[in-house]
Amino acid sequence: MLEPSAQNPNYLIPPLSPLPPSPPPPPPLEPSPPSSTPTKHNHLFSLLSKRPSLRVTSEFDSDSRIFFHKVSCKLFDNLAKLKLSFVNNSKREISDPQLALTSKYLSIHYDPEEQNALIKSSFDVGPMLHFNAAHDVKAQQGEVAMVANLADPSYAVEVSSPVPYVGLPKATIRFPMGEVTLEEREEEEVAKTLSINGILKGPILNGVCAAHYKDEELKLRYSYKDGAMSLS
């Protein structure tokens, strides 16, 4: 009987090497410090809870013997200003009260005696466009205007229209020497026509000459002034 041959060493399973030790776990992350930037809610709460400071001014007119008083305060971290003005005479009577709330884009002027408010708004529409609006609450009338500044700040074009709309808008061209206005004019028993009004000013002979043209009437004025005399 034949003895089994010796096994081929190429078929032997090599001994398993021990596994490397696992790396230690990373240290725990330290909690980040709380942010010092206030949230929108906290910022709004601080604006509402901050007590505004008052400013009081008084002026006395010795001729009429009356006092002019003004009380004002800034609100919402100087975003708006509230002002109250009134007159106090020698009999301690209060008259002509005026209340105004003004901000960068909106202003409201209220007259308690007339029970009327004048609302004005003004803001930029673009780099060269500016919008203006005014409204009289009691009269139910107002005006809207759009101003376009040209490349040179001394040149501008303004288009304005009354509210409610009653006709064509008024156009005004401004330049360094004056301005020209084109608007619609309505007269009795005459159809609507376009009228041109303008003002021109310029230096002439060490003085200033001004020409005013309005309602088909031209007025000229010359003003001269030096260190010793003035002539107009």
For residue 184, being part of any structural domain is answered with yes
Q: What is the pLDDT of residue 185?
A: 80
> What is the tens place of the pLDDT at every residue in 124-133?
998 889 999 9
Rounded CA separation 108/116 (Å): 10
Average pLDDT rounded to a whole number, residues 84-89: 90
Of the listed ranges 38-52, 80-94, 165-179, 198-212, the least confidently predicted one is: 38-52
For residue 28, being part of any structural domain is answered with no
| Percent of the chain that is helix, strand, coil (3-state, to 5) | 5, 55, 40
Rounded CA separation 99/95 (Å): 13
User: Which of 172, 142, 132, 169 lies closest to 155 in space, CA to CA?
Assistant: 172
For residue 156, being part of any structural domain is answered with no
Structural domain total, the chain? 1
For residue 80, being part of any structural domain is answered with no
Average pLDDT rounded to a whole number, residues 72-89: 88
β-bridge mates for residue 74, sequence order: 81
> What is the tens place of the pLDDT at every residue in 212-224?
998 888 998 988 8
For residue 225, give its domain range.
177-232
Q: What is the mean pLDDT of the chain?
A: 80
φ, ψ of residue 166 to 5 degrees: the values are: -125, -5
CA distances from 1 to 4, 37, 45, 179 (A): 9, 94, 103, 132
For residue 110, being part of any structural domain is answered with no
For residue 99, being part of any structural domain is answered with no
Which pair of structure tokens corresponds to residue 176? 């360094």
**Are the C-beta atoms of 177 and 201 separated by less than 8 Å?**
yes
For residue 163, being part of any structural domain is answered with no
For residue 145, being part of any structural domain is answered with no
β-bridge mates for residue 158, sequence order: 147, 172
pTM here is 0.62
